[in-house]
Amino acid sequence: MSDHFKQSPPFHPGMTVGILGAGQLGRMLALAGYPLGLRFRFFDLAPDAPASHLAAQMVADYNDYAALERFATGLDVVTYEFENVPVAAARWLAERVPVYPPPQALEAAQDRLAEKTFFRKLGIPTPPFAAVNSLADLQAAVASISLPAVLKTRRGGYDGKGQFLLREPADLEAAWTALGGVPLILEGFVAFDRELSIIAVRDRDGGIMAYPLVENHHREGILRLSLAPIPPPLQHGRVGQGSNRQIWDGGATLEVDAIGYVAQAMQALNYVGVLAIELFEVGGKLLANEMAPRVHNSGHWTIEGAVTSQFENHLRAILGLPLGATTALGHSAMLNIIGTLPDPAAVLSVSGAHLHLYGKQARANRKLGHITLCAADPETLARRLARLQRLITDFPQQ
C-alpha cells in the first residue's frame, strides 16, 4: 500500500522542505516551520505567490519534469498545500524524495466518486451518490437518489464551482448541458443541520491526534466562518431541532464519530500529515462530504486557538517529530477575509483578534486573509464576534 519509495531521513534542523503550491497554506506552513529551524522551497505556476514573499519559489508547471527535477534536488522531504497537484508529478517526486502525505491520498481526494467510494468502503456514512457519464445515467441516478440532488464534476471544482443543484425533473437537461462531457457524480442533497469539519494529524509511526470538531459557515460555496470547539446546536436557533440530544455533551458524541472516521481514512491511506474531512450534521448523525489531504481553511484558528497549530503539526508529522497537543485554548472563531480588506487597525482593536494577511491583491471572491478571534468563554467570543462582524463586508448573519 505504501507509496514511499524513498526512505525518510531523521529530523535535523536545517532540513529543506519542498512544498507544491505556494498559496496561503504554504505560506503558513513556512511561518510555522521556520521556528523548527527548517528551510523551504516552493513550486507554483503563479509568480509572486503568497509563500514567495518569505521563501524561494520555482515558477513552473506541475507537468514540467525538468523543473520538478531542479526543484527536488537537495530537498529532504516534499509535501503539498494544493490537492490538485497531478498525481503523476507527486509519484515521480516520491521516487526521488520522501513525499507526504502519500500520493495515493491525492488520488483518492481528487475524484469525488473515488472519494465517496473510499468512504463507503470504510463504512463512513456519506450522502447517497452515483456516477454520471451520460444523460441516461443522470436520469437513472435521479430515479434512485431522488430530488433534490446535486450534480458535480468528479474532478476540479472548489468553493462551490462545477456544481448544479437539481430541484425538479425539468432541471436535468440544463444541468447536463452545463456540466456534461466530463465525468460527473450525482449526490443526494442533504438538508443538513450544520456543516462541521474534523482535522487530524497522523505521524510516521501511525500515531493520530485530532483537533476539536469545528462548525463551519459557508456562503456561495466559500467558507466564511469557523467556530471551535463546536458550540451547542441549539445556540443558533435554526439548527439542531431535529436532534433528540436534549443535553449538550459538548459535541463529544459527534466528535467520537468524526475522529473514528478520520482515523479510519488515514489508516487506510497510510497517511502522514494533516487530513481534513468536511461533514454534514443531520439529526445528530454525521455524513462525510469530502476530504482534503492537506492543512485546511477550517483549521486556521489553531494558530492562536490551539496548543499546536495544524501547520506545525503537519510539519512535525512529515519530519518524524513527535506531534504537539491539539487541545483548544479557550474558544475561537476564524473569519475569512474575502474580496475586500477590512480596516486592519479596526480589526486589531478588537480584543483577542489576530490578523493573518496573505499578501494578495484584492479581487472579488478571493481569500485575502483571515482573522482568528480568541476568548476564554463562548459569551465573550460572541460579543467580540459581533464587533468584528460589523467590520467585514459580506459577513454571514448567524
Q: Which residues bind to a second copy, rule: CB under 8 A?
A: 11, 13-14, 27, 30-31, 34-37, 39, 53-55, 307, 316, 320-322, 324-325, 329, 341, 344-345, 348-349, 351-352, 354-359, 369, 374
Minimum CB distance to a second copy, residue 148 (Å)? 41
Minimum CB distance to a second copy, residue 53 (Å)? 6
Q: Give the residue with the Cβ less far from a second copy, 134 or 351.
A: 351
Please, what sign has the CA dihedral across residues 393, 360, 218, 155?
positive
Buried (b) or exposed (e) across 20-48, using 16+ Cβ within 10 A? Answer: bbbbbbbbbbbbbbeeeebbbbbbbeeee
Exposed, middle or buried, 316 (CB in 10 Å: 0-12/13-18/19+)? Answer: buried
Three-class DSSP category at 80: strand
CA angle 371, 373, 375 (to 5 degrees): 175
Catalogue the E-assigned strands of the chain: 16-20, 39-44, 56-59, 77-80, 129-132, 149-153, 163-166, 184-188, 194-202, 208-210, 214-219, 222-228, 273-282, 285-292, 331-338, 353-357, 367-375
Three-class DSSP category at 368: strand
Minimum CB distance to a second copy, residue 357 (Å)? 3
Minimum CB distance to a second copy, residue 205 (Å)? 12
Q: Give the residue with the Cβ less far from a second copy, 15 or 254.
A: 15
Minimum CB distance to a second copy, residue 307 (Å)? 7
Q: Give the residue with the Cβ less far from a second copy, 284 or 359.
A: 359
Minimum CB distance to a second copy, residue 96 (Å)? 24
Q: Which three cell numbers stand for residue 260?
A: 473514528
Three-class DSSP category at 285: strand
Minimum CB distance to a second copy, residue 28 (Å)? 8
Q: Give the residue with the Cβ less far from a second copy, 31 or 198.
A: 31
Q: Give the residue with the Cβ less far from a second copy, 327 or 365.
A: 327
Q: Give the residue with the Cβ less far from a second copy, 162 or 352.
A: 352
Minimum CB distance to a second copy, residue 229 (Å)? 17
Q: Which three cell numbers stand for residue 80?
A: 503539498
Q: Give the residue with the Cβ less far from a second copy, 282 or 357.
A: 357
Q: Which three cell numbers stand for residue 278?
A: 468536511
Exposed, middle or buried, 106 (CB in 10 Å: 0-12/13-18/19+)? Answer: buried
Minimum CB distance to a second copy, residue 19 (Å)? 14
Q: Give the residue with the Cβ less far from a second copy, 116 or 356.
A: 356
Closest C-alpha to 43, from 102, 107, 86: 86
Question: 81, 29 in Cβ contact below 8 A?
Answer: yes
In the Cβ-directed half-sphere of 85, how many Cα atoms lie within 13 Å? 34
Minimum CB distance to a second copy, residue 58 (Å)? 17
Please, what sign has the CA dihedral across residues 118, 85, 1, 75?
negative
DSSP calls for 21-36: --SHHHHHHHHHHGGG
Q: Give the residue with the Cβ less far from a second copy, 23 or 127.
A: 23
Distances (CA, A) of 290 to 120, 141, 188, 305, 363: 12, 20, 14, 24, 27
Q: Give the residue with the Cβ less far from a second copy, 76 or 290.
A: 76
Minimum CB distance to a second copy, residue 341 (Å)? 7
Q: Give the residue with the Cβ less far from a second copy, 176 or 358.
A: 358
